[in-house]
Amino acid sequence: MKRVTVSLNDRSYDVVIGSGARHTLAVEIGRCAPFAQRVVIVTQPSVVAAGWLEGIETGLAQSVIEIGEGEDEKSLSTIQSLCSQFVEAGLSRNDLVVAVGGGMVSDVAGFAAASYHRGIRYVTIATTLLAQIDAAIGGKTGVNLPEGKNLVGAFHQPSVVFCDTDCLATLPPKEQACGRGEMAKYAFLSGETPSTALLNETIDDQVARCVAIKAAIVAADEMESDRRMVLNYGHTLAHALEAVGLERRAQGINDRVAELAHGEAVALGVLFAAALAENLGRIDHERVELHKSVIEGFALESSLPSGLSGVVLIERMERDKKAHHDLTFVLDGPRGVEAVTGVDRSVVLTTLLEMGAEQ
């Protein structure tokens, strides 16, 4: 198995990567929470059905709480319900939460842990590719509001993360695509010359490479004041697409936008960011084609779904957490990927229209 350390002084922790990683849970709990007596495992019915809780031993008194599936369950009401159940389970400040599932589970369970007793420990067993390479690492926890994605949350670092690559064997195609969409951005974030090399590595090596890149960025900028913003490469449009999807689902509309998974939206966002960077004169067309090669190499869609308004997408992007009353994007350029503020609205709209959005 491989280990990558997220170096954050007294909040440092290890990411354990490889086949069977989850079976070392009890040993790791003994190291990171020696005074814990109780554990609450937060998971979802689909994870239980897949059998990923079987064989998980904490060595402590434990109970299981299942939360709902889907982004609509990533809400403040879910946090309230979880915290109430933590009280019923008798969790103290020395006890801990174990999140077993994908990115939604780690986001929600981590935020509940950050809020309960003003913060208790949590660990994550990441069962999806998206969670293993991104969502479970770095301590960003939170939930959605009707107005947008991840608008309420906290920075709360886990005590250890397990990336058990055995869990990836049962992922449905959509979840595989979701993870690959997030993985694609890492081809441009390592600080090395971007290439398609990531496409040809084994899954364990792909996960370890992405985790190492993210760990280095988080260690340099834990609270996302500067450098860490590059991890949002592709996310400004992605979150806008997801916000529109949330609105459509609330209206009972089940079209392609409503069905977009996070990683699929990120892949589209990465392509949009490359096209926008070219239109701003930051990169050349060859670099845009490299982005397309990576996205297409991961068998991801490269065209916006039909029926999207460019104006509406811009309105949603203006609500992005990175924005300061302007349009802010993470874009490729001469110095590599970096945050760019005050981007001209007309250029953004032109780029969206070129990708197939409507006026």
Q: What is the CATH number of the domain that holds 287?
A: 1.20.1090.10
Residue at which a domain ends, from 144, 171, 198? 171
**164 and 241 both lie in a single domain:** no
Quick check: is 199 in a domain?
no
Are 167 and 292 members of one domain? Answer: no
Mean local confidence (pLDDT), 255-274: 94
Same-domain pairing of 137 and 276: no
Residue 328 belongs to some domain of the structure: yes
Nearest-10 Cα torsion for 64, 96, 141, 43: -10
- pLDDT category of residue 326 using cuts at 50, 70 and 90: confident
3-state SS, residue 263: helix
β pairing state of 13-18 and 2-6? antiparallel
pLDDT band at 265 (very low <50, low <70, confident <90, very high): very high
Do 101 and 237 lie in one domain? The reply is no
Decide if pLDDT at 322 tops 80: no
142-185, pLDDT tens digit by residue? 999 988 778 899 999 999 999 999 999 888 888 899 999 999 99
Residue 224 a catalytic site member:
yes
Residue 359 within any structural domain of the chain = no
- Res. 308: pLDDT tops 80: yes
Asked about 31 being catalytic, the answer comes back as: no
Query: pLDDT band at residue 226, thresholds of 50, 70 and 90?
Result: confident
The full DSSP string for 281-313 is: TSS-HHHHHHHHHHHHHTT---SPPSS-BHHHH
Range in 25-39, 74-88, 319-333 with the lowest mean pLDDT? 319-333
pLDDT of residue 113: 98
Cα four-point dihedral sign 105, 111, 117, 121: positive
Same domain flag for 164 and 257: no
Q: Is residue 190 part of a domain?
A: no
Count how many domains the chain has. 2
Average pLDDT over residues 202-209: 96
* Mean predicted lDDT score pLDDT of the chain: 94
**Per-residue pLDDT, 319:** 81
Query: What pLDDT is recorded for position 149?
Result: 79
Give the pair of three-digit tokens for residue 180.
Answer: 């690959």
Map tokens 């007294």 to a residue: 10
Quick one: 237 exposed, middle or buried, by C-beta within 10 A (0-12, 13-18, 19+)?
Answer: buried
**Whole-structure pTM value:** 0.89
Identified catalytic residue from 182, 222, 242, 264: 182
332 occurs within a structural domain: yes
Per DSSP, the three-state class of 216 is helix
Same domain, 35 and 164: yes
In the chain, the percentage of residues whose pLDDT exceeds 90 is 86
Residue 213 lies in a domain: no
Is 182 noted as a catalytic residue in this protein? Answer: yes
Q: What is the pLDDT of residue 320?
A: 74
Indicate if 18 and 158 belong to the same structural domain: yes
Angle at 228 between CA 224 and CA 233, to 5 degrees: 120
**235 noted as active-site residue:** yes
Looking at 171, 188, 213, which one is the last position of a domain?
171
Residue of 121, 149, 185, 239 with catalytic role? 239
User: Does residue 251 share a domain with residue 165?
Assistant: no
Determine which one of 214, 291, 316, 322 is catalytic: 214
Examine the residue annotation and report whether 292 is marked as an active-site residue of this protein: no
pLDDT at 32: 93
The pLDDT, as a whole number, for residue 224 is 84
Model confidence pLDDT, tens digit, residues 79-114? 999 999 999 999 999 999 999 999 999 999 999 999
Domain match, 163 and 238 both: no
The band of 323, judged by pLDDT with boundaries at 50, 70 and 90, is low
Looking at residue 324, its pLDDT comes to 63
The answer to whether residue 232 is catalytic is yes
- Note whether residue 301 is domain-resident: yes
Catalytic (active site) residue 262: yes
165 and 242 assigned to the same domain: no
Q: Which candidate in 9, 54, 118, 324 is catalytic?
A: 118
The residue among 148, 171, 194 that closes a domain is 171
Same domain, 33 and 102: yes
Are residues 278 and 166 part of one domain? no
331: confidence class by pLDDT, cuts 50, 70, 90: very high
Q: Does the structure show a pLDDT above 70 at 260? A: yes
Q: Which domain holds residue 292?
A: 227-354
Quick check: is 228 catalytic?
yes
Query: Do the domain assignments include residue 152?
Result: yes
